[in-house]
Structure 1
């Protein structure tokens, strides 16, 4: 993929070559040279008047000082996506006018003291997506005019103190670095700081206090368990991302001090709603709420209207959907109306006067608006749904279905285009909706697409050794040992468990998200005598990346009463014969008498009919429907109350891993 800096200029290049000394397999225009996908291990020979040089995806293995000799007019060099493993000392020293240097997407492992010697005018340095493990403490000391430094996606475990008086953007995301402090980042002009995917549990308060010009902060995909109150020190924040953490429910007081906030990303936080007063505290222009299991009840009915009234852009709209109740499951949150949230309609009552006096005319024009308060969802008590070991883990309770008035609704249908990238939509018996994704996509709605390496993918499936292993197995449970998986991946933010029944006709995979502290986990509610395929992958990454899989077969279910029943001696046939005959005779006599009385009464009334009235059949049907509805609601209610939610509610699917094992015969 070409560098972003190169795309606008590349579009301006004509098909023909405009200069006579243009390098072979390159395209030239004025003082710019483009050598995209040239496929050569060395640098091309370019004229000295060149100001902008793009040599990306060329397969270059090594740089030499001679490659840039006499090129003191160069201002832009793009060497991204080559095969560079090192930067020789002083290799760029002749480029005293260089302002932009892109070395991203290479295989550089070390930055030495003199790697960037001579680049006194450099303003932007991109080193992301390399394999950098160490940086010399003085590697950037001569870059006094540097404005942007991107180091994300490397293998750094430590960082030298960075003293850069003019730096405005720093990206350290997805490195294994400890939380930086004020002594590590001495950058008084810094405006944008990105610390995503670093496993952070806290944010240094003194650091934020020193960064007085900070306007953008990205803390996504970390291990924050609560809203960092230290963010109140950064009152000038305009853009904030907390996506993909393990935060509890947000409160209005958390965001109230951030009065300048215009863009907020709180996606993938397991939010079921928004805090009361959210609409009154933020002066937003852009909001991201994707991948949250929203309960689309009346308490959230204000949200779509508020978005439209304030003209707020909801980013990733298609991924911001309802999870509950089943009637709204899978619907795009922004496109709902207030009535779709189950809010009672607003009624207007007019008082009509008996006499046309002045005071009564005034009363007659008075309207009172009555809006009954929506019932609050019932939250399970702390003792319900606890962990198997007795320890209460984090909970995201579902509203009890018993709080909703039963009503007749049409059968649920999959909304159009809910599953992206070729995914298949399905609905279970409780009305919960989900998507079965093809191999090269993942996510709740198959929204994530990523090319999987066929070799690595096959290795995961065919590997003889696995970092997860099944332990104790019963007819409905499989205990998983995750010790090795967690120990070999100390920086993952969580574990995504994907399991599917290979024996039954329904092979749709189910997913559960677990914290990285669960070294053992028990899958429950499984079917007896079935083979299950279980895979673990890092939470937040595409399914199939760094996965480890295993198989286990559940046992047959044996009823404990079989043995006792075998010892009961059946009654003698000779004793049963007369009793049965006498009982049958009494039943026949009673039936005959009942029919005779019924016919006699009908003849007396003149309404003798030979067929059963349709009204009677309808009455029986209505009674059966009511009984079936009550039984279904009781069944669903019990599954919610006794579900034992292990960690969090998987998006857009029912709680498949409940503690109430089903003892029905298996059809697998």
Structure 2
């Protein structure tokens, strides 16, 4: 038994020495035939050195790497696919990927990116085509850093950008303006509540926009204008949002009815609120507003308006009654206290009279010169 254990240890050491001799980093798996190196869940604290030059596909995932910089990938000109997901990376320094001249796909998903240098994603030759940042941003400040980096880095030829699962609430205008070659933008599983003017400006080559699993309750006129500005033929995905089917939903329902060819999941869009409209198709709302009859559903906004006017009139009547009652109470109080009020008025009048007489006496005394002479003689 002991002999078997020694043999196993010897074989493991031999394999390790063989791997090191062939240029494979410690704790990594290398395949020269597949041009692939994998360093998966090895508790690495940094990108390992000694990665073979033949590597085209590099997978360093599930480790404890906190930062990456330009020194992390020196001499790896042949890498086309780089996966750095789930490494707890918090900082991406300037020119980190500038040495990867053949890089086409970069996966930084499931990290905690807090600091992103403006030139973090600069890749020579504009070779990068796919950038996966799903569940990668630490907070909203990280997204603002990313927005600056998207402007300054050489990403004009990128085709796919995945920003899903980042708890995004708001997208600033012109965030993607410098991604003219972008064809697929994934914003699913965030917390977007509205679409604003200029959000998707500059995306002249866009083919698919994924807005599923957000917090969109409706799309206002500003958002509808933004969607209308997208390139012809773009495919929209809007499912799994909490659509609220109340008054004000009509413009979006009408737009949806006229844009079914562009909304890939239009038939699956249903109301989430109010409860009596839950699971009602938004297309049925559109048909009801258009007066198509049949299976259409009307929101009944005109009836709601009439009810609101009636409620307002009732409120005014009630307010008048309350004010009238208050006035009667006030008059009753005055009547019950008429004697006391009269006495107070007389007392105030007498006090004012005495005060005025005193002022009048002093004025006459000061203005009569004879009285002044008498006073002077008396002093002598």
Distance 1:135 1:42, change over 3 A: farther
Aligned length: 272
Q: Counterpart of 1:287?
A: 265
Compute the displacement of 1:80 (Å). 1.4
Distance 1:231 1:247, change over 3 A: farther
Q: How does 1:521-600 map to 2 (within 5 A)?
A: none
Compute the displacement of 1:198 (Å). 5.6
Structure with the bigger percentage of strand: 1
Q: Counterpart of 1:276?
A: 254
TM-score (norm 1): 0.33
Residue 52 in 1 paired to residue 36 in 2? yes
Q: How does 1:436-451 map to 2 (within 5 A)?
A: none
Compute the displacement of 1:287 (Å). 1.2
The CA deviation string for residues 196-236 of structure 1, in whole angstroms up to 9 with x for no partner, is 5464545324x555544343334553454455465476465
Compute the displacement of 1:51 (Å). 1.1
Distance 1:108 1:287, change over 3 A: same
Distance 1:275 1:235, change over 3 A: farther
Asked if structure 2 preserves the Cα contact closer than 8 Å seen for 1:133 and 1:154, the reply is: no
Gaps of 5+ in 1: 1-20, 25-32, 34-40, 160-174, 296-322, 347-370, 386-668
Q: Counterpart of 2:208?
A: 239
2:131 paired residue among 140, 146, 149: 149
Q: Secondary structure at the match of 1:65?
A: coil
Gaps of 5+ in 2: 1-12, 17-23, 312-380
What CA RMSD, in Å, does the superposition of the two structures yield over aligned residues?
Answer: 4.9
Asked if structure 1 preserves the Cα contact closer than 8 Å seen for 2:28 and 2:40, the reply is: no
The CA deviation string for residues 103-154 of structure 1, in whole angstroms up to 9 with x for no partner, is 1111223334575464322222222212333244554445443222333433
Distance 1:246 1:84, change over 3 A: same
The CA deviation string for residues 445-469 of structure 1, in whole angstroms up to 9 with x for no partner, is xxxxxxxxxxxxxxxxxxxxxxxxx
Asked if structure 1 preserves the Cα contact closer than 8 Å seen for 2:159 and 2:183, the reply is: yes
Asked if structure 2 preserves the Cα contact closer than 8 Å seen for 1:239 and 1:261, the reply is: yes
Matched residues in 1 for 2:158 and 2:110: separation?
22
Q: Counterpart of 1:129?
A: 110
Distance 1:117 1:178, change over 3 A: closer
Q: Secondary structure at the match of 1:187?
A: coil
The CA deviation string for residues 147-168 of structure 1, in whole angstroms up to 9 with x for no partner, is 2233343355699xxxxxxxxx
Q: Secondary structure at the match of 2:106?
A: strand
Distance 1:96 1:287, change over 3 A: same
Distance 1:103 1:226, change over 3 A: closer
Q: How does 1:485-524 map to 2 (within 5 A)?
A: none
Report the structure number with the largest CA radius of gyration: 2
Distance 1:120 1:292, change over 3 A: same
Matched residues in 1 for 2:45 and 2:89: separation?
11
Matched residues in 2 for 1:275 and 1:187: separation?
36
Matched residues in 2 for 1:140 and 1:375: separation?
49
Matched residues in 1 for 2:85 and 2:144: separation?
19
Asked if structure 2 preserves the Cα contact closer than 8 Å seen for 1:90 and 1:116, the reply is: no
Distance 1:383 1:85, change over 3 A: farther
Residue 108 in 1 paired to residue 89 in 2? yes
Q: How does 1:592-631 map to 2 (within 5 A)?
A: none
Compute the displacement of 1:324 (Å). 2.4
Matched residues in 1 for 2:154 and 2:47: separation?
32
Distance 1:150 1:63, change over 3 A: same
Structure with the bigger percentage of helix: 2
Residue 187 in 1 paired to residue 155 in 2? yes
Q: How does 1:191-590 map to 2 (within 5 A)?
A: 191-195=159-163, 197=166, 199-205=168-174, 210-219=178-187, 221-225=190-194, 228=197, 231=200, 234=203, 236-243=205-212, 244-249=214-219, 255-258=227-230, 259-272=232-245, 275-276=253-254, 278-284=256-262, 286-287=264-265, 289=268, 292-293=271-272, 323-324=275-276, 376=300, 378-379=303-304
Asked if structure 2 preserves the Cα contact closer than 8 Å seen for 1:100 and 1:124, the reply is: yes
Q: Counterpart of 1:438?
A: none
Q: Counterpart of 2:58?
A: 77
Asked if structure 1 preserves the Cα contact closer than 8 Å seen for 2:197 and 2:225, the reply is: no
Q: Counterpart of 1:65?
A: 49
1:43 paired residue among 18, 23, 27: 27
Asked if structure 2 preserves the Cα contact closer than 8 Å seen for 1:213 and 1:236, the reply is: yes
Distance 1:74 1:265, change over 3 A: same
The CA deviation string for residues 519-547 of structure 1, in whole angstroms up to 9 with x for no partner, is xxxxxxxxxxxxxxxxxxxxxxxxxxxxx
TM-score (norm 2): 0.53
Q: Counterpart of 1:367?
A: none
Asked if structure 1 preserves the Cα contact closer than 8 Å seen for 2:66 and 2:89, the reply is: yes
